[in-house]
Each structure stands twice: as C-alpha cells, then as structure tokens.
Amino acid sequence: MRKFIIGGNWKCQVTIVEEAVSIATEIAKEINDILTENVEVFIAPSYNALYSVGQVIKGTKLKLAGQNMYFRDKGAFTGEISPDSLLDAGCEYVILGHSERRRIFGETDSYINQKVKKALEKGLKPVLCIGETAKEKEEGQTETVIQTQIENSLADIPQEQLNQIIIAYEPVWAIDNKFLNPDSEIKTATPEEAEKIHVFIRKLLINKFGDNVGKNILIQYGGSMKASNCEGLLNIADINGGLIGGASLSAEKFKPIIEAAIKLGK
C-alpha cells in the first residue's frame, strides 16, 4: 500500500475570503467520503482566508496549510506571519522554500532552514520545496542544485524529526509563472524526467539520513500536475503525491488528481 499526499497551493490567486470558503467547502464535500487512510489532502489559501477556511473544513478530512511563515514566534516583523498564527487558524502543514519565495523574494537555504526548524518545533509539518531553473537544467546543474538545497535547508535537523518533513520537487521551468520563467517555455516534466530526479532525491536522502528516514520521507512532484498527466506521474514509485497550483483552485480540477492517488494507493 502506497501513501500519497496531495497539496493545493492557492498562492495569491484567490483573494476574496468568500470565494476561498466556497472553493474549500466544495473540495471538502467532494473528497470527504472517498479519501482513504493512505491519501492525505491539504489546501493552502492566502493568509486572509486561513481562519475562515479552517472553520469550514473543520471536522472534514481536508487539511489546512500555510503558504509560508517566519521563524520567530512574534515581534516587530512587519508583513510576516507567525507559526502560532498558522496553528491558531488550524494549519497542520506549512509550505517552505517555494521557488517563488526563493527566486522572487530572495530566500536562501539558510533562511529556509531556520523556518523548517521553527515549524518542527511548533508541530507544523514542513513541505520543503526544491528545484532547478531552466538555465540550471540546461547547464547540467540539476543534481548539484537539488543536493545543495536539501543539505542546506535540512542542516542540523534532529534525526527523529525528519519523518515529519515532506519534500516537494518543483522544477522551476515547469511552473506556469512568467515572473519565474520570463524567457523560457513552460513544460511539465515528462514521467521519465520526473522519475530520474525523484530517484536521485530518494538516493540522496537515504545516503544522508539512512534507510529508515530516506525511504519513508514523502516526496511530492510540483510542476503543473493536472488531471491529464497526474496518473503517469503518480504511478512512479518515488513520487508520493503532488503540490498542485492552478488545478487546485476548483473541486472539478482537483478531485481527479486525488482520485488518481486513491486508485494507485490501493
């Protein structure tokens, strides 16, 4: 039996609370009766909608995630959100190190490492995003970039906490964002491309942290996964789910991905 985790990152796409609540309500309604114990699903709305969405999905099988957080509990940090605020809204997960945070807002591995440590301290499950740009891929730097991001972002994490972390491999060149890819064509990774990198990530985790950790850390693929390609990607042994962008913004588009995971997880 395989375990999958499917996440919906709404980014800054749904800006009105009422709309976010409506989408979340519909997703929860559509999946609540079909989810199995080996498939978990979370959504990450904008901060302004977190509490309201958390209230309407409370008691359902749909989980809540933050899109980011600061590594301090509280203080004079204008524009940041505290891990305690995420917990108060009902979050169980937090996305950290997303390529948009790294590439647009300049977050470094060491900065992300502090966030991962704080999330674990607070009992939040970090979804650590890693991935290379089109230029890095063309220059043959994919494995070097990924290894550096993993080693630095997970530096000094206690062994017993590592199983709470989810890795999300999101090739930057596959993300439909003109600010990330102003001069390159957006291409979803082929199953062969995705498999090659996920196998590399799995081996890296095993070599660095040992079998007990490396074989059991869940690795998501994040890069324009949708209904038309999800089964081919999820069928790969070292892919344990997806971090979904645009296709998570409606139950109609999100549910087929979840159904594919349920089918493959039986």
CA–CA distance, 210 with 224 (Å, rounded to integer)? 31
Among the listed residues 98, 100, 132, 198, the single catalytic one is 98
Asked if 86 contacts 51 with a C-beta cutoff of 8 angstroms, the reply is no
Amino acid at the residue 95: I
Catalytic annotation on 98?
yes
* 248 DSSP assignment: G
The amino acid sitting at 205 is L
How far apart, in whole angstroms, are the C-alpha atoms of residue 19 and residue 25? 10
3-state helix, strand, coil in the chain (%, to 5): 45, 15, 40
With CA atoms as reference, report the closest residue to 13 among 176, 152, 151: 176
Cα 179 → chain centroid? 19
Asked whether 10 and 248 are in contact (CB, 8 A), the reply is yes
Q: Out of 40, 132, 170, 195, pick the active-site residue.
A: 170
| Distance in angstroms (rounded) separating the CA atoms of residues 241 and 254 | 13
**CA dihedral (178, 45, 160, 3) positive or negative:** negative
How far does CA 69 lie from the centroid of its chain? Answer: 14
* The two three-digit tokens of residue 141, written as one number: 């730097």
Residues serving a catalytic function are 98, 170
